[in-house]
Amino acid sequence: MNKLERKETYDNHTFEDIKHINENGIEYWYARELMTVLHYAKWENFRKVIEKAIIACKNSEISVKDCFLDVRKPIISGKGKEEFIEDYKLTRYACYLIAQNGDTRKKVIALAQTYFAVQTRKQEISEKEYSLLTEDEKRFYQRDLTRKGNYSLNQTAKNAGVKNFDKFHNSGYKGLYNGETADDIAKRKGLRYREDILDNMGSEELAANLFRITQTESRLKRDKVDTEKKACDTHNKIGKIVRKAIKEAGRNHARRFANT
């Protein structure tokens, strides 16, 4: 199925699949692609939502040009003449404002509101703010931090001599999940082929994995690890330490990390 075709079930992949990243590592979305995902059939109708979002952006005293970049695209009309269609490059905040002004009768709009609300928050939020989030909001927030943490860990692991990243990451999973690899975890969760296990974790489980990731990166740097074997051993050891801490916190929490 094409990534822009209508879906009956939605998750954060719904919006991640149409995300673009420029040469500077800045992420953005195209309005016409977002329109399709949000189940708007006509640009004229979606354009009205964008106009409301632009007004909201102005009222928040944030630069409209920075959030809604006009990018007209050339197309060949039925008569063979080149014409330009209207489109926008959107920031996360722009997408959030669009979701806030969308048709709330659409289920995907509710998901978009949650997803972009969390993603547009500052990376660091206070404990009080975090406690007020819903479970879905906490999950989206933790998933975003985990994704960024994995990217940073990969850079550090590469500098430490890691070439087989599947082996390296599985070393950490084995430590945390009592010997289970990423594939084992996916099978236990009943996931489809190539479905990301991190996208199918609750906020607490993601937090545990984020702790494993950040502590492993810190240890690799502190110990000046310079071989793949040492890096894998370090990742496995940190995973076991996190697992032990979870077990000591309570068996109910430990059960989600394979056999205890």
Residue 1 lies in a domain: no
Structure tokens at 83: 């014409």
pTM of this structure: 0.53
Structure tokens at 260: 């205890």
pLDDT in tens, 145-183: 888 889 889 999 999 999 999 999 999 999 999 999 999
Looking at the structure, tell me whether residues 162 and 203 fall in a common domain: yes
pLDDT in tens, 63-83: 898 889 999 877 776 677 777
pLDDT in tens, 131-144: 777 888 888 888 88
Looking at the structure, tell me whether residues 32 and 115 fall in a common domain: yes
pLDDT of 170 reads: 97
Mean per-residue pLDDT for 37-51? Answer: 94
Residue 66 lies in a domain: yes
Q: Name residue 74's beta-bridge partners.
A: 84
- Last residue of a domain, which of 119, 150, 172? 119
CA-based torsion, 98, 100, 101, 105: positive or negative = positive
Looking at the structure, tell me whether residues 145 and 197 fall in a common domain: yes
- Last residue of a domain, which of 72, 92, 119? 119
Looking at the structure, tell me whether residues 190 and 216 fall in a common domain: yes
H-run or E-run covering 24: none
- Last residue of a domain, which of 87, 119, 151? 119
Looking at the structure, tell me whether residues 250 and 223 fall in a common domain: yes
Residue 4 lies in a domain: no
Residue 8 lies in a domain: no
